[in-house]
Structure 1
């Protein structure tokens, strides 16, 4: 009779090993994103805007029914779940993954700027269309959409809004990092829900989400227009970059300097 108690048990992976494996996944996926042809890149960005637009629809429906930004933020997280399961992309999701590939010399800065620019513009275009459909199909949401969008249109361009934008960059990039720590889709959904709710419920200053809320308000007949939206897009995108790149991506890479150096040597 075999002694089952003597059978060897698998040792759980060491935390440092898990971090290194996550780094390798980031480099691999990041290089694929940077090398993506234009049309797939454009369509992925458009779908990302549409996915976030579904989250905006849920946000407005729940905000209209409850007048609670926290509950509306929780409802908005359906947009991040859609991003994850549909494998579309959001501009601010491209801070950690492709930047890690560039640092590992698996991609160029020019390719990174191309990825950022096309994804952001495509997100906004897809989001503009879906918010137009939301207001046209559900006119009862006009007052709520105007209230939600006006909050960001009235947000002064200054240090407070910049800090809110930096926090939004931190939240999204940390969500991306947590999702890439595992290959389980079920586990990845958890940070999508939690951080999506934090982003929208906390009314942080996110370049794409807040643009879509302002688009919805403009479609609904708000007192502000694209002249108020455009500078806030630039300011929020800058804050998102600072928060995502400096406070999360750079510090995460400092945890695996030896793997970064190895990857750079291999790419040379």
Structure 2
């Protein structure tokens, strides 16, 4: 039997190479997002709210017909498929990609805050318009819209809702990470469906999705107001940030500290 010590050295582990390739893709795309001109930035954020609004439409229709939140959550995933194929963006999709580029010093904090702020505001504007259209076009879903929106619009701002928001941020950012592990559009659709259902089915507290559900309820006379929505938007966004940045982005960057250092040196050297 041959001595294993005489065997040729094994190549680097494939998983680690794939992680580094994914990091390179994240930095490249993140740099593009951070440097995006104003008009494309505004249109992308607006379209993100409109596209995810199609998921809210599917969610409310299925919930009204079945009364089953899990089936409605699965139907909602069409919104994430639309986001992916139409190349629009949600606010919470910008935790992993541009932050990775920022950490690698391929963008500035000002650019990151601009991206977050504009995307969030325009997501909400687009979603407000779409949910108004939905409730005007489908009067039969009004009771369902009120019930779904009031679940979040009257939710206490405490540990339970904050943990739900943290989980929502974690789920969306993990979905983004999985989609950037491959260049195959067909494979990217799988996490869009699975994680879309995981977000909406158990009613996790997501700043944009649940704002759209609250908008739909407000359009048809819910028992809460826009001040209640604004407070919950801030609470959800904070929890989403913690889940996306701490539980997913930061820990995953610890897997490639050498690549982060290399990118920083390249920037310092003007490459």
Using the alignment, how far apart are the partners of 2:127 and 2:153 within structure 1? 17
> Which residues in structure 2 correspond to 1:6-155 (within 5 Å)?
14-155=14-155
How far apart are residue 184 of structure 1 and its match? 0.1
Distance, in Å, in 1 between the alignment partners of 2:144 and 2:27 is 42
Equivalences for residues 120-199 of structure 1 within 5 A: 120-199=120-199
Contact 2:154 2:224 in 1 (8 A): no
The alignment yields a C-alpha RMSD, in angstroms, of 1.0
* 1:13-61 per-position Cα deviation (integer Å, ceiling 9, x unaligned): 7110000000000000000000001111010000000011000000000
Q: What does the per-residue CA deviation read over 1:36-91, in whole Å, with 9 as the maximum and x for residues that have no partner?
A: 01111010000000011000000000000000000000000000000000000000
Structure 2 stretches of 5 or more lacking a match? Answer: 1-10
- TM-score, normalised by the number of residues in structure 1: 0.95
Give the SS at the match of 2:149: helix
- Confirm or deny: 8 A CA contact 2:70 2:197 kept in the other structure: yes
Match of 2:219 in 1: 219
Shift of 1:170: 0.2
Contact 2:55 2:77 in 1 (8 A): yes
TM-aligned CA deviation for residue 227 of structure 1:
1.2
**For this pair of structures, how many residues does the alignment match?**
258
Against the structure 1 CA distance between its residues 79 and 101, is the aligned structure 2 distance closer, same or farther, given a 3 Å change threshold? same
- TM superposition outliers: structure 1 runs of 4+ over 3 Å: none
Bigger shift: residues 69-78 or 12-21: 12-21
Give the deviation of 1:220 after TM superposition. Answer: 1.3
Distance in 1 separating the partners of 2:12 and 2:145: 49
Q: SS of 2:223's equivalent? A: coil
